[in-house]
Amino acid sequence: MLAPIALSVILLSYWSFKKAYRARRYLVIGLIFVTTNLAFLSYFLDVLFFYLVALLMIFLLAESAFNAAEQVRRRREAEGRANRLELALEQVVQAEKPVEIAVKSNGRIDRITADRIIQLRSSGGYVEILTDDGRELLHNESLSEVEKRLSLTFIRVHRSHLVNTRHVQSLKRSDQGNGWLVLSDASEVPVSRRIMPSVRRALG
């Protein structure tokens, strides 16, 4: 039993010298385990030994949980950076060649570029489109259908709300986990608790 642990201590000493991530912590634990067992060799397979093994297992399980949580955090940070980069690139594309929406209402068709849209609200089977010049247009389509044609600069923050990130002024969060966005026209849009984490990552 001590032979493989002693070998691990030797390897950990080398990795600690090379400043490997968290190697020194494992080295200290390994040294404590080996020296304690050698100091109380006559108690081998006694209660003390099982306590040491139990403590070692608890430490290793805690380290595994910590490493898993750290990997999740890093992955979310990487996803957030990738989303922000993708959003920035999409904004550049939109500035050069914005998407146009043909707004159909009451037999009339108005063409409007997506960069002029502040937000879109679901209203039954229709969509209310609010623009940066104060207009409110009623479009004869569902919110999901319009969303498919819009760029990544638009994010769904609620079941019935879609906003243009270029017009977001601030994000506020309540104690219940939900919140709201303040847009460039001073209007406020609710953000559901389920979508709040993804909205925060998208907005950076």
Q: Which fold has domain 99-203?
A: OB fold (Dihydrolipoamide Acetyltransferase, E2P) (2.40.50)
Token pair for 187:
């209007």
Token pair for 45:
């397979």
Count of C-beta atoms within a 10 Å radius of residue 203 = 17
Could you say which DSSP state residue 132 is in?
A: T
pLDDT at 55: 78
What are the residue ranges spanned by the domains of the chain?
A: 2-92, 99-203
Q: What angle do CA 201, 153, 179 make, to 5 degrees?
A: 45
pLDDT at 54: 79
pLDDT (tens, 9 = 90+) of the chain, 204 residues, equals: 777 777 877 887 877 777 777 778 777 877 887 787 777 766 666 676 777 777 777 877 787 788 778 888 778 776 766 666 666 556 555 555 667 778 876 677 878 888 888 999 988 778 899 998 888 888 888 888 888 888 677 888 888 888 888 888 888 888 777 888 889 888 888 888 888 887 777 776
What single letter denotes the amino acid at residue 49? F
Token pair for 119:
């937000």
CA distance 123 to 10: 68
The values of phi and psi at residue 121, to 5°, are -125, 135
Q: CB burial class (10 A; 0-12, 13-18, 19+) of residue 45?
A: exposed
Token pair for 104:
């159909």
pLDDT at 204: 64
pLDDT at 42: 67
